[in-house]
Structure 1
């Protein structure tokens, strides 16, 4: 765990007319965040105290590198540079990866079996993506990026992560998790995702790059953004488009949005299963929101 998270700290995001302050206060058992004047308790969800590199680990300094050996296990490194995974069944765990490029960790297309676990991944506010690709992403502390995780292929599990401090350039579109289509079998379970900006989302699921099938989004704490969650099946105007089928969005807690909790579009007629989602501040059910004035562009 980064030592900076042992103290209460204040960060300011200033890329938009409205400037929002995020106050993080870390304790041994809980953490709270204050966003847009509301204090939000993260107890029971991933936070700085239970994600990232386990306390007490000594990390060895390293530059960036490409992993091209199938079955490789890489652990215990303080990596200053990007990591590219170009072999199957690679495990990257208990590492700190810091890089100001487009991708902090890139999993090449078609690579299977990647596991990224208990890592701290930092894009230094450069407007890139902390993880791009497909695999199992577990209990990572992900920060200072425009996209925390950009889903790039089939069979992806995102569980137990803390995604926060979304920062980039004035041109950035901020998504905690971005899933822009052309994949199947995605699970997003029990993560804390905080988008401090008034655009775009904590989770974006849309068919811009192709069809989507079999998505489960459950038991997450989702905070901020324009709409906190987008589930968009758009009929016209996408790069590729296609149906968005078998999506389940259940038992999530949402709070801190600018426009609304959920932007739902089912223009090809495929309705997700939506149940048990609540406004964390009030306990009220989250209904699908109205379309924003201008549709997010990718």
Structure 2
């Protein structure tokens, strides 16, 4: 149809005019479609994918990624998020929420040691609707390089709460319910139920002579042959979330002991979530619970025997659980169960991250008799300081013939392979 014919139709009728306009478009622009465009990446447009993941992880841990999906023109369809490298899928998660913006948490498989380029893809309806930029993730061997990446205690999850306003003793306060400052250089706790909290102590020890006492969220610095917290008598004493240290790690200004059961008669003490450094002995107790502490950067002066945690003997229940205890010296231990005054019995040493010392663990054997009911299980032995964890090896003094002694699931931190007791 030529333009002259079209003009005639226009003069003929309104219907003809409408038909003519349609025909005119087709005639003037042959091959051009007037239908709306359909996005090839989905019925209503592509998806923006953003990946958030730690760039430094442990090859022993399962890291977590967060993937943010955004579609500006319509709601997201149900789909699946895939986090991967170029050769391996690290984790997946399904999305069901119908919204223009969705955040998805993805638990990833452990990533082998080395550097990897990691990215996220969103798929729906059998098609990829978008992918994120690639990020370099470096996986380190073992947990000891940064304990918190494996859920172990370190400086980020122990000690006082961040932002605490401390009161100094004796400058700001000299006493409280159940306790008083002694000018000779210590605090005496004599009242049952006393609470010592948010205090800054410099060169001042705490001596406990009461029950149901709480010592929490304090900064305690001790010097020389002194302990920071001495448990002399009582029961149910709780020492928690304190920073305990000394002015230096060597010489006469190192500290002797952070927490010490002096008499060995205190019942049911709990020592947990403390950040302890520059001490020749971290914690010394014969019963109770020692959990989630970070004991590191040991203090030393000539003649010291260095112990991360130590017990001198006893049969009342003792639990040493989920601590990070690191001793860079070639003596004495990270954890020791010695028979100085009695046999060792009813001890559970579980799920700790340990390394260093002469032997990393002294396991309870000795000249007083066979140890019994000793459970040492699920611990990780780091090789940060010596090839065999301790200078001489990972463990000694294990009584294989002791009644109900259990050694199981103890592994090398670097590769997860079993550590044997002989």
Normalising by structure 2, we get a TM-score of 0.55
1:85 is paired with a residue whose SS is: strand
Shift in Å, 1:268: 7.4
Within the candidate set 156, 165, 177, 2:297 is matched to 165
Match of 1:49 in 2: 156
Question: Aligned partners of 2:283, 2:353: CA distance in 1, in Å?
Answer: 16
Q: Is the 8 A contact 1:184 1:212 kept in 2?
A: no
Cα distance change, pair 168–216 in 1 and its aligned pair in 2 (3 A): same
Cα 1:249/1:39, change in 2 over 3 Å:
closer
Q: Aligned partners of 2:157, 2:169: CA distance in 1, in Å?
A: 24
User: What's the offset of the Cα at 1:210?
Assistant: 1.0
Question: In the alignment, does 2:266 pair up with 1:144?
Answer: no
What is the CA distance between 1:103 and its match in structure 2? 1.2
Unmatched runs of 5 consecutive residues or more in structure 1: 1-32, 236-240, 290-298
- Any conservation in 2 of the 1:233–1:267 contact (CA below 8 Å)? no
Select which of 207, 211, 214 maps to 1:88: 211
Alpha-carbon distance in structure 1 between the residues aligned to 2:400 and 2:355: 26
Q: Are 1:234 and 1:268, in contact at CA under 8 Å, matched by a contact in 2?
A: no
TM-score (norm 1): 0.77
Distance 1:147 1:247 in 2: 22
Partner of 1:25 in structure 2? none
Query: Once the 2 structures are TM-superposed, how far is the Cα of residue 196 of structure 1 from its aligned partner?
Result: 1.0
- Gaps of at least 5 residues in structure 2 are 1-139, 171-185, 384-388
Equivalent residues of 2:372, 2:404 under 8 A apart: yes
**Structure 1 equivalent of residue 417 of structure 2:** 284
1:130 Cα shift?
Answer: 0.7
Change (3 A) 1:77 1:39: closer
Contact 2:222–2:255 (CA under 8 A) maintained in structure 1: no
For 1:97, the equivalent position in structure 2 comes to 220
Q: Quick one: structure 1 residues 173 and 211, their matched pair in 2 at CA, closer, same or farther if it must change by over 3 Å?
A: same
Give the CA deviation at 1:212. Answer: 2.5
Q: Could you say which structure has the higher strand fraction?
A: 1
Other structure's SS at 2:145 match = strand
- Matches of 2:281 and 2:212, distance apart in 1: 24
State the SS of the aligned residue for 2:303: coil
Give how far 1:93 is off: 0.3
The 3 A distance-change label for structure 1 pair 269 and 160 is: closer
Give the structure, 1 or 2, with the largest relative contact order (CA under 8 Å, sep 6 or more): 1
Which residue number in structure 2 is paired with residue 24 of structure 1?
none
2:291 and 2:322 in contact (8 A); partners too: yes
Question: How many pairs are equivalent?
Answer: 247
Q: How far apart are residue 197 of structure 1 and its match? A: 0.5
Give distance in 2, aligned partners of 1:58 and 1:195. Answer: 31
Measure the CA separation in 1 of the matches of 2:344 and 2:274. Answer: 25
Are 2:381 and 1:248 equivalent residues in the alignment? Answer: no
Aligned residue runs from structure 1 range 1-298, under 5 A: 40-42=145-147, 43=149, 44-63=151-170, 64-80=186-202, 81-100=204-223, 101-108=225-232, 110-124=233-247, 125=249, 126-133=254-261, 134=266, 135-151=269-285, 153-154=286-287, 156-235=288-367, 241-256=368-383, 257=389, 258-266=391-399, 269-270=402-403, 272-289=405-422
Change (3 A) 1:243 1:182: same
Which sits farther off after the overlay, 126-135 or 52-61? Answer: 126-135
Inter-CA distance 56–179: structure 2 relative to 1 (3 Å threshold): same
Provide the C-alpha distance between the structure 1 equivalents of 2:192 and 2:273, rounded to a whole number of angstroms: 23
CA RMSD of aligned residues (A): 2.2
